[in-house]
Amino acid sequence: MSKYIFTLGGVMSGVGKGVTTASVGKILQARGYTVTAIKIDPYVNVDAGTMNPVEHGEVFVTEDGDETDQDIGNYERFLGIDIKRDNYMTTGRVYQSVIQRERNLEYKGQCVEVVPHIPEEVIHRIKKAARKSKADITIVEIGGTVGEYQNILFLEAARMMHYRNPDDVLFILVSYLPVPGKLGEMKTKPTQYAVRQVNSVGIQPDFVVCRSTEPLDEPRKKKISVFCNVRKEDIISAPDVESIYHVPVNFEKEKLSEKILTKLKLKAKKQDLKEWKKMMNASSRSKKTVKIGMVGKYFASGHFILPDAYISVIEAVKHAAAENKVRVDIDWINSDSYEKNKKKIKELDKYDGIIVPGGFGYRGVEGKILAIKYARENKIPFFGLCYGMQLATIEFARNVCGLKDASSTEFRPNTKYPVIHIMEGQAEKLSKKQYGNTMRLGAWPCVLDKNSQSAKLYGKSRISERHRHRYEFNNEFRQKLTKKGLLLPGLSPDKKLVEIIELSQHPFFIGTQFHPEFTSRPLEPHPLFVGFMKAALTRYSKK
């Protein structure tokens, strides 16, 4: 039987509930327990795959091909495990299965009601995921903020689980304490209200994790404790930190794992965070800062720049920087800006490496192609991920092979040179408007050419990587492009699909049809990102 920890959010979103969940998982895992994590998203979408990344952030892809919330990525990175489809649910997914069961007469003639049938389905799913992961401890993050209408049924499920097994379930509320500039004082009132909101659905938090720009001081700990009915030692200070990977170690300064284990009536075994701490400090001790330019388009939200859509890429870059023992500075570059002002492209000189990440549609494409051309011609290390690889293929076809107007049928259906075209079976799905969860998804094997830079970096010739795409390299152009020097060192085992492109005579020019960022972890950085960072460091050192 697993023990369960629910993480809930108070006051506002985006304060680090996912990182808290992942970090709590990490410190319990470091005590010798098997831990898994579940994300519950309150929206009606069945998965995250159909959502606009500007609005929702990155769509994370699991080994088994689920399109999930970016928090699943945090769980994988902190816990170093593969999270399965069972560990992700949305309102849409829950309702879908209840309705399906009802249609199958599985409720045996009962009147199927929102309560209790929906929370019971949620509990069923939580327990199934825990069982399948063989977890001693399962952490369940409930998306959204308490007090919202949307997550109420999930909170009800959590309440029911606690009511049935009070010793096996506990609650962590992740709250936010503002320090308004004009006042210069940390305010606790929003947190007090948040706890009252949680109380109103029959839940008493066991711990309050207090996110803020500053550490929590004694007077405020006391205040929250008294007004929120939580022991003072269970009010956890969680100030902003240099990197999210410091969070587990900070939690341990407050002895959080010990306190949690005591409440769950589990033994606090000896802790091991040695490797973690080593990784955590690897970059911060360096005096070198490598500069990476990320040319994308899902950044702008009104007046604000949000890199959330590329979170796994950013983390993978950081892992690789730590592995190379350097600091890294990443700039977000809106590819549209190169379309509007062609001369601006020269700014790319200041970067030690350029990444063109995944994407969809035509907006920003020509700017990305200009950036790729610049990186290729000026020998700036370049790494193209999925769309980045497809656009690098197009750039090569246009500017090296002279196939003017070479393109992808994704955005130019009638192009004369469709060097990237739709995959077999995908056109039919699109014509039937079957958009949800129908791309080529999840892990697929790939065989590498032993002499390639990629194979050398991986140190092996058979790999498996995660995918999310509908379009692919068009094999009709293999000969034309390879004749001019494009290398295709990674193919599917049946040799039908091009998974990697590479250029020799360039310090680092690699494009992958897959998304290596999804499998990079702080303790196991991805070899291609490590190689890219190494090339960037070489360029940096020459300056």
Report the catalytic residues: 386, 515, 517
**Residue 10 or 359: which CB sits closer to ligand GLN?**
359
Give the shortest CB-94-to-ligand GLN separation in angstroms.
27
**Residue 309 or 386: which CB sits closer to ligand GLN?**
386
Contact string 369-408 vs ligand GLN (x = CB under 6 A): -----------------xx--x------------------
Part in contact with ligand GLN (CB under 6 A); list of ranges 138-146, 224-232, 373-381, 464-472: 464-472
DSSP, res 143: P
Half-sphere exposure of 205 (CA within 13 A, CB side): 32
Q: Residue 447: phi, psi to the nearest 5?
A: -110, 135
Distance CA 347, CA 359 (A): 22
Is the peptide bond prior to 116 cis by the omega test (within 30 degrees of 0)? Answer: yes
Comparing C-alpha atoms, which of 205, 117, 122, 203 is closest to residue 163? 203
**Residue 41 or 67: which CB sits closer to ligand GLN?**
67
**Residue 68 or 390: which CB sits closer to ligand GLN?**
390
**Are 52 and 31 within 8 A, CB to CB?**
no
CB neighbour list of residue 218: distance below 8 Å, 6 or more residues apart: none
Amino acid in position 194? A
Distance CA 418, CA 394 (A): 9
Alpha helix ranges (H) inside 383-522:
387-399, 426-431, 453-458, 478-483
Q: Could you tell me how many residues of this chain bind ligand GLN (CB under 6 A)?
A: 11
Among 93, 368, 469, 539, binds ligand GLN (CB under 6 A): 469
**Residue 470 or 480: which CB sits closer to ligand GLN?**
470
**Residue 48 or 140: which CB sits closer to ligand GLN?**
48
Give the shortest CB-422-to-ligand GLN separation in angstroms.
8
Give the shortest CB-65-to-ligand GLN separation in angstroms.
13
**Are 37 and 75 within 8 A, CB to CB?**
yes
109 in the Ramachandran plot: left (φ > 0), alpha (ψ -120 to 50) or beta?
left
**Residue 87 or 390: which CB sits closer to ligand GLN?**
390
Distance CA 392, CA 335 (A): 14
Could you tell me the sign of the dihedral formed by the alpha carbons of 15, 18, 21, 24, in that order?
negative
Part in contact with ligand GLN (CB under 6 A); list of ranges 43-51, 131-139, 450-458, 466-474: 466-474
Tell me if 49 contacts ligand GLN by CB under 6 A.
Answer: no
Alpha carbon 474 to its chain's center: 29
Tell me if 351 contacts ligand GLN by CB under 6 A.
Answer: no
Among 119, 359, 364, 418, binds ligand GLN (CB under 6 A): 359
Distance CA 461, CA 317 (A): 23
Among 10, 25, 119, 358, binds ligand GLN (CB under 6 A): 358
Part in contact with ligand GLN (CB under 6 A); list of ranges 16-24, 148-156, 230-238, 357-365: 357-365
Q: For residues 164-203, which are near ligand GLN according to CB under 6 A?
A: none
Alpha carbon 538 to its chain's center: 28
Among 187, 470, 478, 480, binds ligand GLN (CB under 6 A): 470
**Residue 13 or 434: which CB sits closer to ligand GLN?**
434
Paired tokens of 112: 């199927």
Among 410, 499, 502, 517, binds ligand GLN (CB under 6 A): 410
Distance CA 309, CA 54 (A): 6
Give the shortest CB-396-to-ligand GLN separation in angstroms.
17
Q: How many CB atoms lie within 10 A of CB 105?
A: 8
Residue found under tokens 């029959």: 202
Comparing C-alpha atoms, which of 39, 56, 46 is closest to residue 437? 46
Give the shortest CB-389-to-ligand GLN separation in angstroms.
8
**Residue 351 or 471: which CB sits closer to ligand GLN?**
471
Tell me if 60 contacts ligand GLN by CB under 6 A.
Answer: no
Tell me if 360 contacts ligand GLN by CB under 6 A.
Answer: yes
Half-sphere exposure of 422 (CA within 13 A, CB side): 17
Give the shortest CB-419-to-ligand GLN separation in angstroms.
13
SS3 at position 215:
coil
Residues that bind ligand GLN (CB under 6 A): 358-360, 386-387, 390, 410, 468-471
